[in-house]
């Protein structure tokens, strides 16, 4: 029996704040939000209570879920991830509230990963299919707005002495290249996915000019990069195994 694969859900375009919404009342932050999907607009509310250590959100119109062919719980998971990801970046939040939101998201994503691991019986036929990875990440994290080609780079046979680039983004040609060393079986798929995601972020969150210099990996870029659900795991693996990646990949993995 093939493994069950959860499809990415696009919850729509989320806008925080509407006329009449309020932001802060003591330890409680509340804000209305709008979600636009298929030409329809729906209203909801999110609240963060640092005293009660509680994060809550709700969509007022249940008809919103009728627009999707998948289960409502899958829509809720995707909407929650995108909504709270935006909330965590609001300037109005206190540091305690911001930490509460991020920890809440982290716990929810950990639970979702565990469910997926329990459901998955077999790996996909080709987990390192760059186009499949790009399309899935684009739908899940970028609302399908990243327009770029993705391909494997050339397999360089000379070993690196200090470092090498996992991937690159050519903004002029809208081209993402991924180093073929990430094809190797010992490299976790989430490391490859984070590399593709990182290069997609270069288009989604472009460089900004500050103090007379262009900054690529600025604050907004790093915040977007950390939305990737396996960010911490992938980064920890890279720090531990980067030396092994210095050697050229065998011919059969190219």
| 92 three-state secondary structure | coil
| Residue (of 132, 96, 130, 104) closest to 8 by Cα position | 132
Give CATH superfamily name and number for 130-253.
Metalloproteases ("zincins"), catalytic domain (3.30.2010.10)
Q: In terms of residues, how long is the chain?
A: 254
pLDDT of residue 107: 87
Helices 189-204 and 231-241 pack at an angle, to 10 degrees, of: 110
Q: Which residues in 137-248 belong to E strands, given as ranges?
A: 149-152, 167-170, 175-178, 208-210, 213-215
Q: Is the Cβ–Cβ distance between 99 and 106 less than 8 Å?
A: no
Secondary structure, 3-state, 196-229: HHHHHHHHHCCCEEECCEEECCCHHHHHHHCCCC
Which position has the token pair 């079986």?
185
* Token couple for 210: 């500050």
pLDDT of residue 4: 40
pTM of the model as a whole:
0.51
Strands 54-59 vs 40-49: parallel, antiparallel or unpaired? antiparallel
DSSP assignment, residue 253? Answer: G
Q: Where are the domains of the chain?
A: 13-119, 130-253
239: left (phi over 0), alpha (psi -120 to 50) or beta: alpha
Q: Is the Cβ–Cβ distance between 169 and 207 less than 8 Å?
A: no
| Residue (of 154, 114, 152, 116) closest to 133 by Cα position | 152
Q: List C-alpha distances in Å: 236 to 89, 183, 241.
A: 24, 18, 9
Question: From the first residue on, what is the mean pLDDT of each consecutive set of 10 residues in the chain (254 residues)?
Answer: 54 79 71 91 93 92 87 88 90 88 87 64 68 93 94 71 79 94 92 96 94 92 94 92 74 49
pLDDT of residue 115: 63
């Amino acid at each position: 029996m093939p493994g069950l694969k959860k499809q990415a859900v696009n919850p729509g375009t989320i806008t925080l704040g509407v006329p009449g919404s309020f932001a802060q009342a003591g330890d409680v932050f509340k804000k209305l939000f709008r979600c636009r999907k298929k030409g329809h607009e729906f209203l909801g509310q999110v609240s963060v209570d640092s005293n009660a250590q509680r994060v809550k959100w709700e969509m007022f119109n249940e008809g919103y879920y009728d627009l999707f062919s998948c289960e409502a719980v899958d829509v809720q998971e995707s909407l929650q991830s995108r909504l709270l990801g935006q909330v965590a970046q609001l300037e109005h939040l206190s540091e305690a509230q911001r930490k509460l939101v991020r920890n809440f998201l982290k716990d929810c994503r950990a639970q979702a990963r565990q469910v997926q691991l329990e459901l998955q019986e077999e790996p996909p036929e080709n987990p390192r299919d760059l186009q499949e990875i790009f399309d899935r990440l684009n739908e899940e994290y970028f609302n399908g707005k990243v327009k770029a080609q993705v391909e494997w780079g050339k397999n360089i046979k000379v070993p690196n002495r200090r470092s090498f680039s996992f991937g690159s983004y050519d903004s002029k040609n809208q081209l993402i290249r991924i180093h073929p060393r990430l094809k190797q079986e010992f490299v976790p798929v989430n490391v490859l996915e984070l590399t593709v995601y990182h290069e997609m972020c270069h288009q989604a969150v472009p460089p900004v000019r500050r103090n007379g210099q262009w900054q690529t990996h600025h604050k907004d870029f790093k915040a977007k990069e950390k939305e990737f659900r396996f960010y911490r795991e992938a980064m920890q693996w890279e720090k531990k195994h980067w030396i092994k990646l210095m050697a050229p990949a065998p011919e059969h993995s190219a």
